[in-house]
């Protein structure tokens, strides 16, 4: 049978974010978290959702009780466990009984494919291992469950003894398994080898059974220890796998599992292989971010397809080309996966970067691009960085145009920090601010210099601009740019602020951290007043 005859037209996505993904360092889902993720995955169009190991902990047992109350559209809930233990019957095995008590339409059980594991880990015979697989699968099928058989360490087992590894699959197939999932459990296989092995399994095990009228298919489950989990999954599909197991954002133990967020567009957009409803693709970024938030992780800005930098262009030559033909530097359209194109501005920019970003902000910089670019390069040589400080960048564009007038001006400032005897440190800021020609002199105490400056500036500006009472600090980041200068190093300060609806970032840079903070703080107020106006 050649490759064309076994070409896959549809892939069934099997998500294990709630089981394998929960083994990721730093993740601890509550039952409510797991229910939310289950609903998200079902709405997105995932075929199978593996939700946990009911015999392993009380939380998973309770989850399987509660998940029955969800009104799922199409996804099959899967309970996970292992084959029976050696030398006992399936009906006497607590793990097998736990799978049945979960009362899910499908169950997944893993068994040993590698003779090393059989003899050294399970400490049993090769024949008993085959019986453990066959008995467990057959018993679960007799109880009316769809069985997904996970052949653990299959690629390592195939490498050690291919004949025995294939026998383990045949045992599962004879027991009635619907899916034979080949697991690259150690994550060390390469795509060429994966494709070769999956093709062999398809031709020697699956195709003959299908010829007899049996409904059985191959699946793939890869880990990312060699950073090839996505490539290996796609290679397996090209060789005939019809189920792909993985997790959202690649969460998982050690280096993680195959990232479904990258696999889905790879299959659907590039290979024309259906795996989710067509309209779901545009929600790919949203799904990634929502589950990221539930897991309490920061989003990876450089994640392919969905990261905030996935379609961010910084080099001047790139931007000039993208401005003419987007496909010249983009492998897909950002909108197809719910993302957006972004043009960054830095010392690497060209005039096209300035023109595109200014147009996005509604600012006409015609004839000023060279001047703007020169100013950016000058400031970035001093330590400024504008690609994430959109507030300061927009102010730079507006200030360089004739006629722009700042709503206020900092004339001078003083910050005093003192600690006497047993008293806690005291900080006081004094600022003089000019508004409409009037000099306002204000003083404020604070728990730190930036807090005191913020209080003094607000006192000065509130009478003229009461709307600044809506501004709240969200984040304050400090970076030392040249640590070799020790305490005399240049400091970059980034401030993120919000009015409850919109967030914006501003930047300041100086050898003096208080001065750098004041620059960022001043830009933050000025930017908000500009936008509010």
Q: What angle do CA 48, 53, 55 make, to 5 degrees?
A: 145
Q: In this predicted structure, what is the pLDDT of residue 347?
A: 54
Residue 427 has pLDDT above 70, yes or no: yes
The pLDDT > 70 percentage for the chain reads 96
Strand ranges of the sheet holding 503-510, from the earlier edge strand across to the other edge = 472-480, 491-498, 503-510
- The rounded mean pLDDT for the chain is 90
Quickly name the fold that domain 8-294 has: TIM Barrel (3.20.20)
What is the SS3 assignment for 203?
Answer: helix
* Distance, CA of 173 to CA of 266 (rounded, Å): 30
Count of residues making up the chain:
533
pLDDT: which is higher, 367 or 112: 112
Look at 39-43, 238-242, 309-313 and tell me which has the smallest mean pLDDT: 309-313
- Rounding to the nearest 10 degrees, give the CA dihedral for residues 397, 398, 399, 401: 90
What is the SS3 assignment for 259?
Answer: strand
Under a CB-based contact definition with an 8 Å cutoff, are residues 166 and 205 in contact?
yes
- The tens digit of pLDDT for each residue in 374-392 reads 887 788 778 887 867 888 9
For residue 279, give both structure tokens: 């309209």
Cβ neighbors of 463 (< 8 A, separation 6 or more) are: none
CB neighbours of residue 50 within 10 Å: 26
Question: CA-CA distances (angstroms) from residue 86 to 93, 109, 114, 124, 257?
Answer: 10, 15, 16, 7, 29
Q: In this predicted structure, what is the pLDDT of residue 1?
A: 42
Helical spans, DSSP H, in 176-228: 191-201, 207-211
Exposure on the CB side of residue 425, measured as CA atoms within 13 A: 10
CATH 3.30.160.270 location in the chain: 409-532
Burial tier of 19 (Cβ tally within 10 Å: 0-12, 13-18, 19+): buried
* Distance, CA of 19 to CA of 483 (rounded, Å): 43
Residue 422 has pLDDT above 70, yes or no: no
Q: What angle do CA 515, 517, 522 make, to 5 degrees?
A: 95
DSSP β-bridge partners for residue 219:
181, 243
* Distance, CA of 343 to CA of 311 (rounded, Å): 8
**Would you place residue 342 in the very low, low, confident or very high pLDDT band (cuts 50, 70, 90)?**
confident
Question: CA-CA distances (angstroms) from residue 437 to 406, 434, 464, 493?
Answer: 12, 6, 12, 29
Residue 527 has pLDDT above 50, yes or no: yes
**Would you place residue 4 in the very low, low, confident or very high pLDDT band (cuts 50, 70, 90)?**
low
Neighbour-count burial for 402-423, b at 16+ CB within 10 Å, e otherwise:
eeeeeebebeebebeeeeeeee
* Distance, CA of 450 to CA of 517 (rounded, Å): 7
CATH 3.20.20.70 location in the chain: 8-294
CATH number for the segment(s) 409-532: 3.30.160.270
Residue 76 has pLDDT above 80, yes or no: yes
Residue 344 has pLDDT above 70, yes or no: no
- Rounding to the nearest 10 degrees, give the CA dihedral for residues 433, 434, 436, 441: 60
* Distance, CA of 126 to CA of 124 (rounded, Å): 7
* Distance, CA of 507 to CA of 499 (rounded, Å): 18
Burial tier of 364 (Cβ tally within 10 Å: 0-12, 13-18, 19+): exposed
Question: E strands, 45-170, where?
Answer: 48-52, 76-82, 106-112, 146-152
Interhelix angle 390-399/369-381, rounded to 10 degrees, is: 130
Q: In this predicted structure, what is the pLDDT of residue 101?
A: 94
* Distance, CA of 428 to CA of 418 (rounded, Å): 9
> Does an H or E element contain 15, and which?
strand 12-15
Look at 143-147, 213-217, 366-370 and tell me which has the smallest mean pLDDT: 366-370
Helical spans, DSSP H, in 295-368: 316-324, 351-361
Under a CB-based contact definition with an 8 Å cutoff, are residues 186 and 214 in contact?
no
* Distance, CA of 250 to CA of 227 (rounded, Å): 11
| Beta strands at 426-435 and 312-313: parallel, antiparallel or unpaired | unpaired
Q: What is the arithmetic mean of pLDDT over 422-428?
A: 81
């Amino acid at each position: 049978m050649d490759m064309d005859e076994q070409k896959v037209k549809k892939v069934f996505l099997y998500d294990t974010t709630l089981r394998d993904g929960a083994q990721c360092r730093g993740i601890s889902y509550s039952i409510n978290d797991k229910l939310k993720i289950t609903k998200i995955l079902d709405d997105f169009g995932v075929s199978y959702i593996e939700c946990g190991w009911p015999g392993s902990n009380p939380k998973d047992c309770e989850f399987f009780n509660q998940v029955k109350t969800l009104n799922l559209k199409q996804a099959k809930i899967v309970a996970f466990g292992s084959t029976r233990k050696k030398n006992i019957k399936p009906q006497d095995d607590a793990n097998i009984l736990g799978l049945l008590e979960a009362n899910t339409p499908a169950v997944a059980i893993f068994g040993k494919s590698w003779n090393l594991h059989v003899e050294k880990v399970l400490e049993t015979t090769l024949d008993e291992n085959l019986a453990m697989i066959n008995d467990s699968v057959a018993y679960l099928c007799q109880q009316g469950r769809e069985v997904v058989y996970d052949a653990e360490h299959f690629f390592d087992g195939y490498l050690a003894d291919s004949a025995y590894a294939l026998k383990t699959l045949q045992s599962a197939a004879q027991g009635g398994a619907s899916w034979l999932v080949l697991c690259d459990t150690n994550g060390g296989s390469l795509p060429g080898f994966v494709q070769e092995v999956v093709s062999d399994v398809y031709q020697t095990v699956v195709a003959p059974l299908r010829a007899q009228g049996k409904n059985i298919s191959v699946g793939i489950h890869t880990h990312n220890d060699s950073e090839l989990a996505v490539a290996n999954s796609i290679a397996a599909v090209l060789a005939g796998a019809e189920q792909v197991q993985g997790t959202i954002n690649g969460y998982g133990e050690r280096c993680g599992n195959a990232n479904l967020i990258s696999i889905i567009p790879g299959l659907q957009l590039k290979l024309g292989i259906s795996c989710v409803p067509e309209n779901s693709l545009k929600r790919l970024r949203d799904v990634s971010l929502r589950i990221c938030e539930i897991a309490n992780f920061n989003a990876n800005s450089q994640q392919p397809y969905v990261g905030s930098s996935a379609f961010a262009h910084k080099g001047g030559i790139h931007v000039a080309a993208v401005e003419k033909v987007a496909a010249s530097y983009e492998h897909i359209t950002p909108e197809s996966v719910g993302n957006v194109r972004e043009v960054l501005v830095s010392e690497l920019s060209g005039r096209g970067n300035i023109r595109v970003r200014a147009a996005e902000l509604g600012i006409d910089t015609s004839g000023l691009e060279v001047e703007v670019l020169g100013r950016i390069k000058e400031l970035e040589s001093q330590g400024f960085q504008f690609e994430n400080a959109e507030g300061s960048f927009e102010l730079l564009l507006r200030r360089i145009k004739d006629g722009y007038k700042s709503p206020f001006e900092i004339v001078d400032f003083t910050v005093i920090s003192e600690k006497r005897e047993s008293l806690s440190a005291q900080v006081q800021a004094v600022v003089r601010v000019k508004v409409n020609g009037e000099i306002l002199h204000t003083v404020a105490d604070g728990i730190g210099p930036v807090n005191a400056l913020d209080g003094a500036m607000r006192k000065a500006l509130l009478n003229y601009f009461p709307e600044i009472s809506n501004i709240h600090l969200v984040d304050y980041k400090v970076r030392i740019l040249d640590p070799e200068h020790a305490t005399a190093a240049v400091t970059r300060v980034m401030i993120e602020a919000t009015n409850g609806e919109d967030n914006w970032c501003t930047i300041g840079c100086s050898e003096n951290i208080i001065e750098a903070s004041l620059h960022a703080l001043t830009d933050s107020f000025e930017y908000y007043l500009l936008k509010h106006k």
